[in-house]
């Protein structure tokens, strides 16, 4: 099968940063699906892994990355109970296994759902990783209850990114919280408005922009943990909650949260599959809820730009866009 990979962590403008190659089509093992991929989307984790996985030495075999896809089940492994060949599915993935930059991929059925019927392949591929990250951040980490939040608010740092885009929608449809999102450019502000944000502020001067709010009950940081730490510590309400998905680039003062008894949470969408937790199948159930919400037209795909082709030049172009920090919504590649 054809795939896109790398053997050395190189700048994206270098020829071998991503390249095409042929490899054997994998076979499904216990609880696995073999999926014929129709479309994938690119996330920040993709270029971060590409930049770091082979910094010190060249890999013996090309590494295939990518963790967002939609496709058709080609075959199933022993013990699969939720899917059959021919099923249309969408899913994120397991960072410890081979990714979706390829014609076929092996994926554990516990982190897969049937694709929303009213979305095409590209629209569906835009959703899984970001929807799972947003859902887990809101409901599993911060433990916000559905239909709750009347009179309270939540600040989303990085409102126009992939995760922020779907988080705004989920919060507006499933909770009563007032949703405040950060965006600094006209294009990102307009995008956040389209997603449904109640208020939009500029993250470059967060404290001043938030001066009209006494406190923030919850904060979701999908963009810059270190750079906004002091502002978050000041803005968060007593006994409030903060959830972050981006690693700190420098030491932060966790003690700043103590006097307010603030809860702090990390969210990593890969945790359940990486450790095969007892509740790993929760991701299948979350994606099923997302599917239902999409089919009920309560939320919509966050795809913004579509690209064509399983070739290295297309993938390099999308990686370059993601690395620029100017990406809005999701970038999807159709095969």
Task: Quote the pTM value.
Answer: 0.97
Q: What digits encode the pLDDT tens for the residues 191-205?
A: 999 999 999 999 999
Nearest to 152 by CA among 200, 216, 207: 216
Residue 149 bridge partners (DSSP): none
Q: Report the alpha-carbon distance of residue 270 to residue 239 in Å, rounded.
A: 28
Nearest to 158 by CA among 205, 207, 192, 193: 192
Residue 2 bridge partners (DSSP): 22
* CB neighbour list of residue 267: distance below 8 Å, 6 or more residues apart: 133, 136, 137, 140, 141, 243, 244, 245
Residue 308 bridge partners (DSSP): 334
What 3-state DSSP class applies to 254?
Answer: helix
**β-bridge pairing 178-182 and 199-201:** parallel
What's the pLDDT score for residue 50? Answer: 98
Q: What digits encode the pLDDT tens for the residues 126-148?
A: 999 999 999 999 999 999 999 99
How many Cβ atoms sit within 10 Å of the Cβ of residue 86? 8
pLDDT tier, 16 (very low <50, low <70, confident <90, very high otherwise): very high
pLDDT tier, 48 (very low <50, low <70, confident <90, very high otherwise): very high
Residue 93 in contact with residue 70, Cβ under 8 Å? no
- Kindly state the average pLDDT of the residues 177-189: 97
Buried b or exposed e, range 201-225, using 16+ CB within 10 angstroms: bebeebeebbeebeebbbbbbbbbb
What's the pLDDT score for residue 141? Answer: 98
Residue 307: in which H helix or E strand, if any? strand 303-308
Nearest to 220 by CA among 296, 138, 148: 138
Residue 111 in contact with residue 90, Cβ under 8 Å? no
Q: 2-127+272-334 sits in which CATH class?
A: alpha beta
Q: Where are the domains of the chain?
A: 2-127+272-334, 133-266
Residue 216 in contact with residue 196, Cβ under 8 Å? no
What's the pLDDT score for residue 27? Answer: 96
Q: 133-266 sits in which CATH class?
A: alpha beta
How many Cβ atoms sit within 10 Å of the Cβ of residue 317? 17
């Amino acid at each position: 099968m054809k795939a896109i990979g790398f053997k050395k962590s190189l700048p994206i403008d270098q020829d071998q940063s991503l390249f095409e190659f042929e490899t054997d089509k994998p076979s499904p093992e216990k609880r696995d699906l073999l999926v014929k991929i129709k479309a994938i989307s690119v996330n920040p984790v993709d270029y971060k892994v590409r930049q770091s996985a082979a910094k010190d030495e060249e890999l013996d075999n090309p590494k295939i990355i990518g963790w967002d896809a939609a496709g058709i089940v080609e075959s199933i492994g022993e013990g699969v109970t939720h899917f059959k060949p021919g099923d249309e599915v969408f899913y994120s993935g397991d960072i410890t296994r081979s990714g979706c930059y390829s014609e076929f991929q092996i994926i554990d059925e516990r982190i897969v759902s049937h694709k929303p019927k009213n979305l095409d392949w590209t629209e569906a591929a835009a959703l899984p990783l970001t929807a799972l990250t947003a859902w887990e951040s809101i409901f599993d980490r911060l433990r916000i209850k559905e239909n709750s939040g009347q009179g309270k608010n939540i600040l989303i740092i990085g409102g126009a990114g992939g995760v922020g885009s779907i988080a705004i929608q989920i919060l507006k449809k499933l909770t009563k919280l007032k949703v405040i999102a950060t965006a600094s450019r006209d294009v990102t502000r307009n995008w956040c408005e389209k997603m449904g944000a109640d208020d939009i502020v500029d993250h470059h001067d967060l404290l001043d922009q938030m001066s009209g709010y006494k406190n923030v009950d919850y904060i979701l940081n999908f963009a810059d943990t270190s750079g906004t730490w002091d502002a978050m510590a000041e803005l968060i309400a007593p006994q409030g909650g903060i959830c972050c998905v981006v690693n700190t680039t420098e030491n932060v003062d966790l003690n700043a949260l103590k006097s307010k008894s603030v809860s702090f949470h990390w969210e990593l969408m890969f945790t359940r599959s990486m450790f095969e937790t007892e509740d790993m199948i929760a991701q299948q159930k979350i994606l099923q809820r997302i599917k239902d919400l999409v089919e009920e037209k309560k939320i919509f795909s966050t795809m913004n730009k579509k690209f064509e082709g399983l070739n290295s030049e297309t993938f390099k172009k999308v990686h370059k866009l993601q690395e620029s920090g100017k990406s809005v919504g999701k970038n999807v590649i159709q095969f």
